[in-house]
Every structure is written in C-alpha cells, then in structure tokens.
Structure 1
Amino acid sequence: MSAAKKVAVIMGSDSDLPVVSPAIRELKRFGIEVEAHVMSAHRTPEEAAAFSHNAKENGFGVIIAAAGKAAHLAGVLAAHTTLPVIGIPVKSSTLDGLDALLSTVQMPAGIPVATVAIDGAKNAALLAVQMLALSDDHLADALAEMKQQMADEVRKKDSALDVSEI
C-alpha cells in the first residue's frame, strides 16, 4: 500500500455496511489499507474505547465512524484518541438522519469530530485521504490528479452543452 497509515472504518451496526462501502472503496482506490469493524458506543463501549485508545500505536492515521439515531459512536471514539475522527451520520427511519447529524456534529469543546453529510461516506474517505496526504506526497499527488480529472470532466460537459433545442 502507498500510505504508511491505515484508516479504520467503524460502524455502529452491520446494517451500516451499505452506507460505508463507498468510503472503503474510495480509500482502497487510493491504496490505503482499511480495517472495518462493528462497535457500539452503547452496547460495546469498552471495546470501542480500547480500539480508539490503541489505534495510533496500531498504525491507524484516521478513524471514520458511522452511526445512526443517537450516533454517539464518533464522539466516544474521539474521546479516547488524539487521531482525527470523521463522523458519518447515517440516515434512519427516525428523523431522516437529522438526529444522527446533530449528535455527531454537536461535540463538546476538546473532543472534535469532523462530520460529513448524512450518508456522506465518499467525502469521509476523501477527507481522510487529505489528512493522510499532509505527510504522504504520493497521496497528495493522487488527490491533485483526481481534482484535475474532475475539473476536466466539468469543462468537457460545458463544451458539449447544447441548449439550442430547448
């Protein structure tokens, strides 16, 4: 793998796997080693705390946490590490994920959690890549190339735009 640091993707339930799959795919696309686990802030708090507490010494550079409803997983993990934690609020039948968004983003001072959009796994992965790219020139170059490709695609669509038939 190109990056020395791994990324952990922690989900509150195995039912969150379809939501976090885009993050796992995106991280792998950049050649980043990913470990995924199911841990609950409420049902397995000791395991979640221990994982987070030991994450840095276990080779992780960033933790991504996805949870719905009360969504305290990212905060519990952030409380036990100095690594960056990125929260993905998961849309559920309750309040369409607004409860998870607010629970993830409203952290007390001293326990920051970077938070992406509801079900925003791809952006969580890209944010993790950007964080790791601060000390990995290969990742920084790959990100610059990705941004250039996105810009080229927009320019191509702009050139092909034809509104004469509207």
Structure 2
Amino acid sequence: MENIQVLILMGSKNDMPVMKKTEAVFDEFGVAYKTLVRSAHRTPEATVEAIKEAEEAGCQVFICAAGMAAHLAGVVCSKTVKPVIGVPIASGALNGEDALLSTVMMPPGMPVATVGINGSKNAGLLAVQMLAQNDEDLAHKLRFDRAKQAEAILADD
C-alpha cells in the first residue's frame, strides 16, 4: 500500500455511491487515501491485514462505512489506536437506523466518531479536521472552505 493519510473501508461495494462524497472531499483538500471493500463478518482476517498495511503506510485516520449490523468501525477500532470514523449506511428494513445505533453505541474504551446516516461528506471533513491538527496547510484550506460556505449562504439573501 502506498503512503496514505486515510483508509476508507466499506462493508460492501454497494456503499460506494455514498462514499464517493468522502473521496471528493479528500480530492478537494489533497488528502492521500485508499478505498477498500472489507467486511467485519465475511473477511475479518483481510480487514485486520488492511489495517496493519495502512498503518505501515502512514495512515492517521480510518473511515468505515457499513449498513445494517454495521460492525466494521468497531472491529477496526479494536485493532488500532488511530481515530475511527463510522458512516452508517441507509439500507435494510430500518433504512440505516440500525447501522447508526450499531456504530454510535460502542462499549466504553472503544470510541468511534460517528456521523449521520449516509453522512460521508461530513466523515471526510472530520478526517481533514483531525489531520489539520498537525498540518497548517490543511487548516488554512478548511478555514477557506468555511468562508466559501458562509458566502454562499449570504449570497442567497
């Protein structure tokens, strides 16, 4: 695995349309990332190997997208001390509410930052904020992005 700052893991390739928004954030901000499909239940060994390889490649943040039982973020959290951001995916009979609860209700000692259902853009921005703690260029880009958002709102007057 080449040098990366963030590893995006998805429980299924069906999650890719939602996670494209995370990739777009990283492309805009110049953040190095890799996206893989890994299942907490169907490919646990490959998931653990991806975490190890990502850390060796310099990964600082993990983003995990999963629907339904949504255990991927918790499994990743159990295998790294790097920040993990969970993205619950709208799917199944409960349209993502089960994924939201599975992701946000982690046991004490295993924290996973969780965004809203299908909140992949916010997951990307949260990862950029985490990286910006030690990268003034990224912090400047974030401040500029916030200013653009404010201008767009005021332009709607």
Q: What is the aligned length? A: 155
1:38-117 → structure 2 map (5 Å cutoff): 38-117=37-116
Q: TM-score, normalised by structure 2?
A: 0.95
Q: Structure 1: which 4+ aligned runs deviate by more than 6 Å?
A: none
1:95 alignment partner AA: L
Q: How far apart, CA to CA, are the structure 2 residues paired with 1:85 and 1:155?
A: 34
Q: TM-score, normalised by structure 1?
A: 0.90
Correspondence for 2:137: 138
Deviates more, 1:89-98 or 1:123-132: 89-98
8 Å Cα contact 2:76-2:84 kept in structure 1: yes
8 Å Cα contact 1:72-1:103 kept in structure 2: yes
Correspondence for 2:14: 15
Deviations along 1:18-71, one digit per CA (max 9) or x if unpaired, are 010110111111001110000000011111122224432221111100000100
- Report which of the two structures shows the higher radius of gyration computed on alpha carbons: 1
- State the Cα RMSD in Å: 1.2
Deviations along 1:62-103, one digit per CA (max 9) or x if unpaired, are 110000010000000011001100000000032011000000
Correspondence for 1:36: 35
8 Å Cα contact 2:67-2:92 kept in structure 1: no
Correspondence for 2:148: 149
8 Å Cα contact 1:89-1:116 kept in structure 2: yes
Q: How far apart, CA to CA, are the structure 1 residues paired with 2:93 and 2:81?
A: 31
Q: How far apart, CA to CA, are the structure 1 residues paired with 2:55 and 2:130?
A: 14
1:33 alignment partner AA: A
8 Å Cα contact 2:73-2:86 kept in structure 1: yes
